[in-house]
A and B are shown apart, each in its own frame.
Chain A
Amino acid sequence: MAKVLVKGNEAIAKAAIKAGCQCYFGYPITPQSEIGEYMGRHLPELGRTFITAESELASINMVIGAGTTGTKAMTSSSSCGIALMQEAFSAMCCAEVPGVIISVMRGGPGLGNIAPAQADYFQALKGGGNGDYKLIVLSPSNVQEAIDLTYRAFHLAIKYRNPVMLLADGILGQMMEPAEFKEYPYNDPDVSEWALSGADNRPARNIVSLHMPEGALEELTNRIFEKYELIAKNETTYEDYMLSDAKLVLTAFGTVGRVARAAVKRARENGMKVGLFRPVTLSPFPDRDLHEAAKKADMILDLELNKGQMLLDVRSAVFGACPVEFYGRTGGGLLTPDMIYSKIEELYKTLDSKKEAGVR
């Protein structure tokens, strides 16, 4: 299939439909409203369900209802709207209900602004929901990857019976570029072993998140965390761009990763050994691979559109293997290739002097 010119938000919506999404439940919020608009135009004509819910709370709980029947369903929102869904994410992880959440980040905190940002990394990974739980979080850096990761989000949600978040930002949502809609590439597992369908010639089932008997919740949570280990083993992915001999390794996710890539290219053209480590799965985080890259590098530079959120996971993965610097902007401010290149130049100079001084 040929490439088409498509806006990020619409690409995600179209990919969801191609992935077999049967239901969309959402509530409008900038900068992702085109997702709901696209779904409102196309789902009914396919005989599928579209509901503009009364709130984000309602949206995600409708996704739960669909998920308990083993049906592919999604919602989408942004920052302050995603904040309202946190209780349900926790419940979904506990009750093992699949569902896809598209989070198109805008400026925060508070109502913030409608400029692109990445300040909801903590919200996606460290959660505002209660208890021990983890979302699977995927981070696209361009429109093509947004399409491919939307497919993957639906597959992983059903495969592992866990909510999956596609963590995009306002740049990606609002940006148009050529992309290709391949056929959905995954074989999804059968849901009939667990989905609710009525107790017809089988014992009654329940999908609930309250587990009162002594020890029951600990046993359940331990089992679910074993599942997270399996997900980390099977599904962790990242982009390696010129890492093999890199002395300075940039870490960045989403659209910042793409901008950083341009700066790395320019640095290489000017003889600097710089590489990019871009996590594609933020949860599970590619910590072992990043640690290996850090062991070969002299320095890590973490780049984010926030005050340093993925930075905590980067430091944890690097675990002292080399120094970690941070450069970021917040509140809707952007990082350009020039800004990143200047920072690379500034830090790269210090690498040689540090080496001469024996500093690591």
Chain B
Amino acid sequence: METLVYKRPESLLKDGHFTFCPGCGHGVVLRIIAELIDEYNLQKDTIAISSVGCSIFLEKFFNLDVAGASHGRSPCVATGVKRCKPDKFVFTYQGDGDAATIGFNETIHTACRGEHLTTIMINNTNFGMTGGQASATTLAGQVTTTTPAGRNPELTGYPLHAAEIVAKCDGTAYCARVAITDTKNIRKAKEAIRKAFEAQIKGLGYGFVEVLAACPTNWHMPPVEAVKHIGNVIETVHPVGVFKDITAKEQL
């Protein structure tokens, strides 16, 4: 007797082939999101908000309604959608250049308002789509095209710790940082995104999951080395963990 253990999520387009670089983390996270939307049977009720960066082409991958936002503004577009359609499931998909750099003010205020929506922020510590410039989350010492000698905090400041700050906002219901470095951690990432989704479904407030993901092309590393680099180096600056979770309390 055959048991189905793997199938393509309905929330992904049948012909929506990922166009990311080898070793990039985006595909893994988009698949996790699609699986969860299927599991909660939310496909017909979901409006996804894309952003600017490698996170932009959601409509090419998702079999979901998609609204596009300008750089950094997806939480505002999501707020407009959710306030008009409170019965819909709304999430933003952003990178660190978008959610933590040009749009961090929007991220913080969306969290403080406790909007009933979810943000998935891919943190690969650089502006990937434009060719690997330093972003707000770039590590001290990290070599990028705009910090060729390594990021010098005396000149360009320190990395911004998005999840830790978002967790401090009263309207945040769930906030975590995860790393998609191996099967075990990918499963943990899925559980974190599940909790952030549930925070919205239960009407508890804003859910935010920062996902540490590899950018082998701009890090100038082979994919396997890039993934190891997350655990060995990036997590020492941007540690994984759950920084806020009121979903657990609500279940008691």
- A positions within 8 Å CB-CB of B: 22-23, 25, 49, 51, 53-55, 57-59, 61-69, 71, 73, 87-88, 91, 95, 196-201, 204-210
Contact = CB atoms under 8 A, between A and B. Distances in A.
Contact of A68 (B43, B44, B77): B77
Nearest to B79: A62
Nearest to A99: B80
Residue of B63, B65, B69, B88 with most chain A CB atoms under a 10 A cut-off: B65
Nearest to A59: B76
A83 to B, nearest CB: 15
B79 A208 contact: no
Contacts of A25: 80
Interface string B23-57: 00000000000000000000111110110000010
B70 A88 contact: yes
Contacts of A55: 105
B84 interface: yes
A204 B59 contact: yes
Contacts, number: 135
Contact of B83 (A51, A68, A87, A196): A51
Given A204-B59, A206-B65, A23 B80 contact: yes
B-side interface size class: 35 or more
Contacts of A53: 76, 109
A65 B68 CA distance: 9
Contact of B70 (A87, A201, A207): A87
Given A51-B113, A198-B46, A208-B59, A62 B76 contact: yes
Contacts of A65: 49, 67, 76-84
A23 B50 CA distance: 22
B219 interface: no
Contacts of B67: 64-65, 68, 196, 206-208
A200 B58 CA distance: 18
A199 B79 CA distance: 19
B73 A57 contact: yes
B15 to A, nearest CB: 12
Given A64-B77, A68-B67, A199-B44, A49 B88 contact: no
A91 B56 CA distance: 14
What 7 A-B pairs are tightest by C-beta distance, nearest first? A65-B80, A208-B68, A61-B76, A200-B44, A206-B59, A61-B73, A65-B77
